[in-house]
Amino acid sequence: MQEAEIKETVSGITSRRTEAAGGFAQTDRGGPRPDATAWAVLALKAAGEPQSTLAQACRFLSRFQLADGRVVFSGESKAAWWPTPLAALAWGAVPGFEGEKGLALGFLLKTGGRRFQKKEDSPTGHDTAIRGWSWIEETHSRVEPTALSVLALRAGGKGGRPRVAEAAAMLMNRRLPGGGWNYGNTTVFGQELLPMPDSTGLALAALSGMAGRAAVEKSLGYAQARLRETDAPFSLFWLACGLAAWGIDPPDLTGRILDCLALPKRRGPYETTLLSMLLLAYACRGKVVSFLGVG
């Protein structure tokens, strides 16, 4: 049963979500997108798909890379460079794309989210001067693009750069007093905001090996508690990745993934990104950070 579920997932991605040029769409009838393509490359690589399929998808990704190295969501939105770390991770998984990966990593090292000195009467609790990465050019740094960029730079051998250490400090500064993370704010007008399981798992994955365990012990406890109750693929994936990166094996992860793959029969089909995440977590038994080559 397990093998049949996984084969069906791979088939669903490769036969109904891909187009002739190699790109992958989020849905059966959608157009190809760089983010869906990057996640599909990582998942299909872990699942043992042919190198030719992966290389074609990576070549498709290069269509979205500009001269300065950024990978944009579309040619009409050059400021939306948030797919850059995802593309760098995909190019790093397939031989022959070292040039594209190097350009993308170079772009990440020289750019970042908008930062500014915090005023005394600021309603926000976090330090606004610590630089991470943002979703869109000239906007404030957020947790998800920062954590993804940290993972991409570390996987690409740039983990020792001061820029990565600064981003790790930003992530620690954005941690909520209760231990989790959300999109990037801690308190507003003195009120603590709520954590989000996906942001927490992603931040833990990026910080593995960069922060002391004592500093994130409360975060790990929150992640374990939330993992036990979630069946949402995005949260399941990042919580499992974050915990595994700290040496905590999620209980019955294989069964949880297979159960999650069965949910679309009641809820409707998953997008390619979510299918790819589940397939990647299954193939790596949750140890996605190691699979990416993050050391």
Where does the pLDDT of residue 264 fall: very low under 50, low under 70, confident under 90, or very high at 90 and above? confident
Q: Are strands 191-192 and 187-188 parallel, antiparallel or unpaired?
A: antiparallel
Question: Does residue 1 carry a pLDDT above 90?
Answer: no
For the segment 133-174, what is each residue's pLDDT rounded down to a tens digit?
999 999 999 999 999 999 999 999 999 999 999 999 999 999
> Dihedral sign, CA of 195, 79, 116, 130?
positive
For the segment 7-53, what is each residue's pLDDT rounded down to a tens digit?
778 877 888 899 888 999 999 888 999 999 999 999 999 999 999 99
Contact in structure between 115 and 128 (CB atoms under 8 Å): yes
Question: Does residue 257 carry a pLDDT above 90?
Answer: yes
pLDDT at res. 227: 96
Q: With left for phi above 0 and alpha for psi between -120 and 50, is residue 209 left, alpha or beta?
A: left
Residues 6 or more apart whose Cβ sits within 8 Å of residue 134 = 82, 112, 113, 114, 140, 141, 142, 145
Average the pLDDT over each of 91-105, 118-132, 280-294 and give the range with the smallest value: 118-132
For the segment 165-217, what is each residue's pLDDT rounded down to a tens digit?
999 999 999 999 999 999 999 999 989 999 999 999 999 999 999 999 999 99
| Mean pLDDT for all residues in the chain | 94
- Counting residues of the chain whose pLDDT is more than 70, the rounded percentage is 99
Contact in structure between 243 and 220 (CB atoms under 8 Å): yes
For the segment 53-90, what is each residue's pLDDT rounded down to a tens digit?
999 999 999 999 999 999 999 888 899 999 999 999 99
Contact in structure between 49 and 14 (CB atoms under 8 Å): yes
Q: Determine the average pLDDT of the residues in 95-103.
A: 98
Cβ neighbour number for residue 258 with a 10 Å cutoff: 18
pLDDT at res. 86: 98
Question: Does residue 5 carry a pLDDT above 50?
Answer: yes
